[in-house]
Structure 1
């Protein structure tokens, strides 16, 4: 076989069930319109967010409820895109949601502006009056940490309105990688022709025991990437320039400081990770590469061989077998935990098919108020 399956050709049981977020695309579109209306209604509260402790609590509850609904909606289109970014409908829905999201965030940017006018003493007094506000303390701490870098309200509104444009570099990169890239099929050591894709290379061929297949796949992989080098260099440069510009506008010392604060990571922590990789881990990895060359019986070890396994067996397993192994192993976590894992593995929380347009790698998305969704590509390798 030298052709990959399209999304509508893969067994439905290997895909996730997005109906748990919205039962249909029509329901998604209805919610999108409803959220746009809700944003306009919330905007009427501008200038009135904390006239009293009770009004602050009510406004926060409504704002967080709106944010949770928006989270579910954006997760829905994001998951559809991750499953098949080559589908024009998925692309259209993502673009529609991104545009609406940018507009709604711009409309409601005053929320953070006004809440930042609070100081610790005022907030403490309001909490004393209405103790239920205490649960919002983590939110206020994160908000207050951004105070020194907050721009004029109109500038903040403008940046949020441009969110779709500012995210364009990553969107272009993702669409190019998942929807446009076409890789040449490759041959294995037995002369069989097998399909090739970004996902197949990443999850299967890069770590296969078949040296011929591994190196042929690497050649096909890099040949296709080379055809996109100018496009990817341009969008990466645009992303870097955007980040540097926003960091300067906000008054950060460096773009690194700007990015790290969003993740609540200190520069010391970040530098320590790099130092460990370069200074402590690197010598061991170089030694490991040489040992792997000897174990595999290779004259030279190339980049294509770095993930090759050194064991001589090739155990395979099915998803059902692995599911049972996981459930058996996790019984020790107790019945409640075990039941959640079983439900997730049984009721299509996991998308593990391989199909054209599917996202590479793996991730877990947990939209508020719904269960988690896990993306991976099943290869059968234990």
Structure 2
């Protein structure tokens, strides 16, 4: 039943959804006014009660502050500052492997933030980081989500929003002022990188903190930060070597094998990439991103039937995975199965109506079928989304038909 709607209704509803989303975004000053009362400064003291540094924290409940463990565990004791007042704080929960710690601050009366989720984030989405750089009060920096990397069952966030020393443990917020991550300043491979731990991990913190003590070893996050830094530099040989070390250190880490697959793929070592993704999936069969990436490899080497199977697995796990729907459409298009390609692309644009590339692919599939009326309708949508892509689309699928 999903594919029986008239296409004009699809275009209209998608355009309205896009416009309503844009209209609802709050201005930066509104975001800061809304959430800054819930972001605090965390002061750290040594065994002699001497100040040794500061970080940031976010109020998530009455008297409850979340921050990074590398902030909270840096010294012997800690205090929280908010609105010129200082409050004693004690450790409540600790999960060093995820770098998340929760402080108990019984006298703090700051309002808690509104919790969002990292599960629906998209690359390119506007975000705001709020924290207290060293020797400064709260500051706001604006940026975009530059990368989303699956890790430990959630999306690890890389952002262009500036995060300085002292801002670690602060909040990353969406354009509604909802908390989507806990910011972390990190220096890896000679680069200052801005990360945020997914807000979804906060709810898991009490249960994980009550688990058995973890063996002291390099955290998966430490490996991941270094790997992402090399990926950012497009140093594929360096990423390959480091991912191999990660796999050797943590052979049952699906994320380590996933990173190895990315490195092999970018070095055009496709058979090794397939083996790496298959290893990740043996460890974590419900790893939608690994299925999607595996499908991309099969598409690259013209194994389109295998690609379709992989994309279908990704979509079984996550039916709202727009990229997997788009990639599925590409695979069907390579097999000249345009009806199935159109159905897949339509799912992609229903989920992400603002993504011009999926609309372009849908229009191309209609063009292959000779449905020029649909081609023209899609041009109107593309003209609103991206003028450059709309022009390329017109040159490819509209102007040739008028000659």
Question: Does the TM-score normalized on the shorter chain lie above 0.5?
Answer: no
Higher strand share: 2
Higher helix share: 1
The TM-score normalised by the length of structure 2 is 0.29
